[in-house]
A and B are shown apart, each in its own frame.
Chain A
């Protein structure tokens, strides 16, 4: 088979876990090797797919346009994204969209260390599109599912061979995965609440 580089899968993660994913690593010394952030539930992510409410857009650039977007998940936690001249499609979406709006975002995780030594995690969007509530709801359930799968693998201490990334997460982070189970519960409860409140069709 020809060695076509395989496309990186887009992980599903709620904002609270994503923003905790401050540890990055590469799997080879090659300069162009993909950079991964390590999710605290024990999975590597070189790409994410998220759907949420765009609540604010702002051009924070000094010399040229550099757009910041805030996308909020059902728990009220925020994904931050930044798009400049090298992401023209995403930047023009952030320029044109009127918040609030449901958006779907495909992008790469990026980390940035502040002067205080904190690490901020953000998304560099590859694409942003405006979507409907049904798409947002499906993303919430799917993301809860993927998060719970990761938590179960993390907690599965019986497994003879501990997963490489689970092991890495337990070494790199001191973060109880219980927090992320609660994030999944909270997100699902907010959907349930909305569905109950919705008028009968």
Chain B
């Protein structure tokens, strides 16, 4: 049975910030709880892969548009892609470390890295500034912060 655990946006990175744990500490409790449920589902699956439980994460990173007048169009696009990549990777690391730490704390043998997960898949996609929430944010930092985000979605499967 598929259980869609949703698509949780983590919004509000500061310009050129990509540290997901820092953002995680600033977002609302609801987003943290939803991510927590995803992590627990992953631990439940990974604890005993022979039980046929699986978990699939998709982490999509986004940037605000880079409007620096000192950059060429190519430099702007590269900057946007770089930070959306770093945000997605930081979020992925956070999720894996949570899985690892919680499994270890519970006395379970945790996989040493993401590649060694048996019942959990994590994919990241970097979207640069292709999909802006606020298309013309101008000098409004709040609007720009909304554009800087990661979306974490998860589907768990049980037999």
Interaction A to B: no
